[in-house]
Amino acid sequence: MHDTLMRTNALNAEMINWRHDFHQYPELGFQEYRTASVVAEQLRSFGLEVHEGIGKTGVVGVLKRGNGTKSIGLRADMDALAITEANEFAHKSRHDGQMHACGHDGHTAMLLGAAKYLAENGQFDGTVVFIFQPAEEHGKGALAMIEDGVFERFPVTAIYGIHNMPSLATGHFAIRSGPIMACEDNFEIVIHGKGSHAALPHLGIDPIVVGAEIVTSLQSIISRTLNPVDNGVISVTDFSVAATRNVIPEKVILRGDVRAFTPDIQARIESSMERIVSGICAAYGATYDFVYTREFVATINSEPEADIAVAVAREIVGDDGVYADCAPIMASEDFGFFLNHLPGCYVLLGNGGEGPGGCGLHSPHYDFNNEILTTGAAFWAQLVHDQLNPEAGDTASASV
């Protein structure tokens, strides 16, 4: 077993306790008051300098060694989801309708474990900034911390994040340089027709027929407008009508979700959507309102930091446990906002391909796999040792 892995393993029971505690008391985005205060209290007990209330409920812990000027940011997310847990184990959620169904309880526990390990054993020269962010799920927490000046107050040269990944074997790593998670845009299209009797359609303008044609035609953007080697998804997820069986309604509302990897493709999808909506509505004599919003940016790993993450992961679990050029995922991640400001890398850590660990994120049956707490903490510790290595020669300071 790798040395760092063996030593972080000594904190395993403690990490499990923290994780189960967070799991029992999940909190939604920007309401992580209890979680943040437990995190802050623990960090203080390890001897870190602690700053609370950054980006509303975010917490930053700072651990400095030696005189080195290099600093790196390690990030965990703390928020839960508005899902009623279907599990029956002892650490089941005690907050009705709220649940850690995305494993942020595990991410927070893992980073606490790394902070404790590094405070007690860290042989490094420089500054580690532990970033516990709120409100990842709705893509608002990273920006809130950035706008609150987190990187002016705690400058870092690079930032790293870990997310667990069901369907990836327990403790394996998947990493890639370039886009790893997509952006998310949302849209709402209101089609205004003209209501009439169901038996007298010639007296109205049927927004359901217009809406049906729009839903079908929007898919042609992916297949006919984008370059086939580019990626994009358009999903109409809501087709709402205030319906009465024998009435052609006044209006239809379509809502949905778009994913892509680059601002250029986002812009092409947005303009193509409006062109199709406008053209089809005009053809039928209907009018429309079109609202398109950008919710998450794409998560794009920088190449040097992706290489660093791959090397660290290989040190921890060996070459066979690391996919160094994994396929990107069309889901989205708030960490992308951090990577818009700084170089860095977002790393996926296998929650388990088989058994409970393979249960999908955001499922009421999901649970973070305790077996990977040590792997994640060891990755964090090794990353700090490698990047803030007093012998690496990028500062003139003596080793600690």
CB 210 within 8 A of CB 380: no
Provide the minimum distance between the beta carbon of 105 and Zn ion in the complex, in angstroms, as a whole number. 10
Residues 366-394 as b/e (b if ≥16 CB within 10 A, e otherwise) read: bbbbbebbbbbbbbbbbbbbebbbbeeee
Provide the minimum distance between the beta carbon of 65 and Zn ion in the complex, in angstroms, as a whole number. 31
Residue 135 or 218 with smaller CB distance to Zn ion: 135
Residue 137 or 305 with smaller CB distance to Zn ion: 137
Residue 15 or 165 with smaller CB distance to Zn ion: 165
Q: β-strand 173-174 against 322-323: which pairing, if any?
A: parallel
Query: Which spans of this chain sit near Zn ion (rule: CB under 5 A)?
Result: 102
CA distance 157 to 388: 11
CA distance 301 to 336: 9
SS3 of residue 29 by DSSP: coil
Provide the minimum distance between the beta carbon of 135 and Zn ion in the complex, in angstroms, as a whole number. 11
Residue 102 or 252 with smaller CB distance to Zn ion: 102
Provide the minimum distance between the beta carbon of 246 and Zn ion in the complex, in angstroms, as a whole number. 43
Residue 166 or 390 with smaller CB distance to Zn ion: 166
Residue 36 or 102 with smaller CB distance to Zn ion: 102
- The secondary structure of residue 397, as a DSSP letter, is P
Q: Which amino acid is at 237?
A: T
Provide the minimum distance between the beta carbon of 131 and Zn ion in the complex, in angstroms, as a whole number. 15
CA distance 17 to 108: 12
SS3 of residue 59 by DSSP: strand
Provide the minimum distance between the beta carbon of 316 and Zn ion in the complex, in angstroms, as a whole number. 21
Residue with tokens 């860290």: 122
Provide the minimum distance between the beta carbon of 291 and Zn ion in the complex, in angstroms, as a whole number. 24
CA distance 317 to 208: 55
Residue 161 or 207 with smaller CB distance to Zn ion: 161
Q: DSSP per residue over 350-379, as a string?
A: EEESSGGGGSPTT-TT----GGGHHHHHHH
Q: Which amino acid is at 186?
A: N
CB 324 within 8 A of CB 175: yes
